[in-house]
Amino acid sequence: MRKHNFNAGPSILPREVIEETAKAILDFNGSGLSILEISHRSKDFQAVVDEAEALFKELLRIPEGYSVLFLGGGASLEFCMVPYNFLEKKAAYLNTGVWAKKAMKEAKGFGEVVEVASSADANYTFIPKGYAIPADADYFHITTNNTIYGTELKEDPDSPAPMVADMSSDIFSRPVDVSKYICIYGGAQKNLAPAGLTFVIVKNDALGKVSRYIPTMLNYQTHVDNGSMFNTPPVLPIYSAMLTLRWIKSLGGVKEMERRAVEKADMLYAEIDRNKMFAGTAAKEDRSRMNICFVMATEYKKLEADFMKLAIEKGMVGIKGHRSVGGFRASTYNAITKESVQALIDCMQEFEKLH
């Protein structure tokens, strides 16, 4: 039976990326060696890093003066690396969920942290608006997509302070005005590559401004100077990321990814709104295109396990909501097909007929 992979991360990758990666695991570039055992300093692998970086810059239209880094440690390490490298006195954070809160917690060890707004009181079901960003902040940090709660910032805000963004789960799903940011980072295991890779886009002239000593491995400048090769990078995920970027380019780039994201999200939200058995959890204007969260309507709450059982029987994978919010979550990342979204809708409609 065909599986429909709605996992929130590690998550679905394009089939051709998985197949090409599998080939490279057996024999990389006709070298007689596996991608798992080649030297990261070999000419063949340097070409992979160079192409991945070039595709990042091309697809996101990254201006001159920025570096793209391929690191380890996940977005969770970036929560500490960002303030280490940029926070001299004060930083501003928008609190839109668990990951934003974790990023704020790390920053508090480096200087003053201003929470400009929070939707915690409403269990993060909306993105706050109308807040003031202190112009004297070293940076203003946002989490563009909140995987647990299904909310998303779909445009790059205007800020009087330089901006930093965690784009782990919506990178390459829409065009981004990179020039508004000094740093964009994310774990790649949601919309780009297998787990183990962290991407960082950093503005070169924003570095070297803090007075503190930064440990070598936590200093972005180290990785800029060494082209992500200061230590052994995550070789296999970088290769898969390069293949995913090729795939995005072949389909028409981030504009086309955005068109598909809107189409898939609109389909599923329309069914959630129509079907009396289900209810969306995020404020309509802030609904994520990447993580669609919903619950059983109050009067059908007792049927939650029954729906989950039917969904699993129909090949749905990973639609259980995050343990902190419950219900259901369908992650509709770039690689999920319209057909898989339709299969979930069909499943919801079948359940409605049964009850």
| pLDDT tens-digit map of 314-333 | 999 999 999 888 999 999 99
| pLDDT tens-digit map of 44-67 | 999 999 999 999 999 999 999 999
Give yes or no for a contact between 188 and 167, defined as CB atoms under 8 angstroms apart.
no
Structural domains of the chain, ranges and CATH numbers in brackets: 15-251 (3.40.640.10), 253-354 (3.90.1150.10)
Distance CA 5, CA 340 (A): 8
What pLDDT was estimated at residue 206?
Answer: 98
Of 2 and 80, more confident: 80
What pLDDT was estimated at residue 135?
Answer: 98
Which residues are designated catalytic? Answer: 99, 166, 190
Mean pLDDT of 228-238: 97
Distance CA 198, CA 1 (A): 33
Q: Beta strand 291-296 with 278-280: parallel, antiparallel or unpaired?
A: antiparallel
Mean pLDDT of 106-113: 98
| pLDDT tens-digit map of 15-52 | 999 999 999 999 999 999 999 999 999 999 999 999 99
What pLDDT was estimated at residue 323?
Answer: 87
What pLDDT was estimated at residue 249?
Answer: 98
Mean pLDDT of 335-344: 98
SS3 232: coil
Query: Can you give the pTM of this predicted structure?
Result: 0.98
Mean pLDDT of 191-210: 98
Tokens coding 114: 């201003």
What pLDDT was estimated at residue 324?
Answer: 83
| pLDDT tens-digit map of 137-158 | 999 999 999 999 999 999 999 9
Give yes or no for a contact between 191 and 290, defined as CB atoms under 8 angstroms apart.
yes
pLDDT at 260 over 90: yes
Q: Please report which confidence band the pLDDT of residue 312 belongs to, taking 50, 70 and 90 as the band edges.
A: very high
DSSP letter at 156?
P
